[in-house]
Amino acid sequence: MTTRLMTSRSVRTSKLDLRLSPEAKQTLNAAAHEAHCSVSQFVLTSALERAAETLTERRCFELNAQQWEAFMTALDASPRVVPQLQRLFSEPSPFDAPESR
**Does 79 map to a domain?**
yes
Give percent above pLDDT 90 in the chain: 62
Structural domain includes residue 76 = yes
Residue 87 CB partners (closer than 8 Å, separation 6+): none
The pTM assigned to this predicted structure is 0.52
Is 13 part of a structural domain of the chain? no
Q: What number is the average pLDDT over the span 23-30?
A: 96
Q: Is 6 left (phi over 0), alpha (psi -120 to 50) or beta?
A: alpha
In a domain? residue 63: yes
- Place 93 in a pLDDT band, splitting at 50, 70 and 90: confident
- The answer to the question of residue 7 being in a domain is no
Q: Using 50, 70 and 90 to split pLDDT, how confident is the model at 59?
A: confident
Q: Is residue 11 part of a domain?
A: no
Decide if 31 contacts 42 (C-beta within 8 A). Answer: yes
Number of domains in the chain: 1
CA 69, CA 77: separation in Å to the nearest integer? 12
What local confidence, expressed as pLDDT, does residue 58 receive? 78
In contact, 6 and 44? CB cutoff 8 Å: yes
